[in-house]
Amino acid sequence: MMNLFNAFVMAILLAIGAPVVAADKQAPITPMTVNINTANAATLAVALDGVGDARARAIVEYREAHGPFRSVDDLAQVKGIGDRVVAANRTRLKITD
């Protein structure tokens, strides 16, 4: 029962982006890094704060219509994604062609 509780607490902490330290005191778990030029909508929705299914689909549709993002800041050009969302996720975002 305690393992289930620990798993639940860890899932909540990961969902809100809090650093989590394993029971053996290893390094904190860091948020997932996502390549916005290759990630699918499901990955974007899970990995990025403030991005749900609709915004994730908008990112993929924008990328398909306009080509790959040249910088992380270009993500703010997607309808529904603004500078705040980009700033909140900057450390999670990466770009490659």
Alpha carbons 18 and 58: distance in angstroms, whole number: 27
The answer to whether position 49 is within a domain reads yes
The domain total for the chain is: 1
First to last CA, the chain: 46
7-18 pLDDT per residue, tens: 666 666 666 765
The answer to whether position 38 is within a domain reads yes
What is the per-residue pLDDT for 30? 61
Alpha carbons 32 and 45: distance in angstroms, whole number: 12
The answer to whether position 62 is within a domain reads yes
Alpha carbons 57 and 40: distance in angstroms, whole number: 8
Alpha carbons 10 and 38: distance in angstroms, whole number: 28
What is the per-residue pLDDT for 96? 83
What is the per-residue pLDDT for 37? 96
The answer to whether position 22 is within a domain reads no
Q: What is the CATH number of the domain that holds 41?
A: 1.10.150.320
Q: Is the pTM of this model over 0.85?
A: no
44-84 pLDDT per residue, tens: 999 999 999 999 999 999 999 999 999 999 999 999 999 99
